């Protein structure tokens, strides 16, 4: 018999109301709680609790507090990733964040997609869709990245955008739903 965890990992419909999945979420909650309550001096690099939780903690990464993730075991970081305060990653599927990417404060990265049938939704039926964020991406404050989205390298997601579709390499997207900026990116700031 196939477990709910196996269904989730295979990208099939599964019930999130499952003892094994609840146990995995509790491991993540404990690690996140430990991370979020460390003194600032112990958070200048990726904390030990998150290093032990993430599938790939990367190197020279920083995750500000508060931080929340649902499993942690599906999060893969490249090198020098910066995740600002208030970030939520609901990683029921793999989440890959590329080298040098900066995630703004209050960003949500979501993998869980709930069933459209209300009875199945009440029963906890959902599907997990991976999110991939390339290298050197900048995701502005308060943006939401929806399940199944790929944001290619060097793209910019404007603050407050809701990303429902893939974003091309180097593109700048803004708005709800996020759409490419016509005629180039936002104004540059001279040093």
Span 60-86, pLDDT tens digits = 999 999 999 999 999 999 999 999 999
DSSP H helices in 37-82? 48-53
Residue 175, domain member (yes or no): no
Residue 28, domain member (yes or no): yes
Where is average pLDDT lowest: 41-55, 89-103, 123-137, 162-176?
Answer: 41-55
How many DSSP H helices and E strands does the chain contain?
A: 4, 19
Sign of CA dihedral 102, 89, 175, 149: positive
Residue 184, domain member (yes or no): no
Active-site residue flag, 37:
no
Give the chain's mean pLDDT: 94
The count of domains in the chain is: 1
Domain, as residue range, for 76: 4-142
Residue 160, domain member (yes or no): no
Residue 181, domain member (yes or no): no
- In total, the chain counts a number of residues equal to 191
The answer, yes or no, to whether residue 187 has pLDDT greater than 90, is no
Q: Which candidate in 33, 96, 99, 114 is catalytic?
A: 114
- This prediction has a pTM of 0.93
Q: What is the CATH number of the domain that holds 83?
A: 2.160.10.10
Residue 65, domain member (yes or no): yes
Residue 127, domain member (yes or no): yes
Residue 171, domain member (yes or no): no
């Amino acid at each position: 018999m196939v477990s709910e965890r196996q269904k989730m990992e295979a990208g099939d419909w599964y019930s999130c109301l499952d003892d094994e999945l609840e146990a995995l979420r509790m491991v993540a909650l404990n690690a996140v709680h430990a991370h979020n309550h460390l003194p600032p001096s112990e958070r200048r690099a990726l904390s030990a609790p998150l290093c032990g939780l993430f599938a790939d903690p990367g190197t020279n990464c920083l995750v500000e507090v508060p931080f929340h993730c649902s499993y942690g075991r599906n999060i893969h970081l490249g090198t020098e990733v910066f995740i600002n305060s208030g970030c939520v990653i609901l990683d029921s599927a793999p989440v890959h964040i590329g080298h040098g990417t900066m995630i703004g404060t209050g960003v949500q990265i979501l993998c869980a997609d709930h069933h459209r049938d209300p009875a199945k939704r009440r029963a906890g039926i959902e599907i997990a869709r991976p999110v991939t964020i390339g290298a050197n991406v900048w995701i502005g404050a308060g943006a939401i990245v929806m399940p199944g989205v790929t944001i290619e390298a060097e793209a910019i997601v404007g603050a407050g955008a809701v990303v429902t579709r893939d974003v091309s390499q180097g593109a700048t997207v803004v708005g709800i739903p996020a759409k490419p900026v016509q005629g180039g990116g936002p104004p540059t700031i001279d040093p």
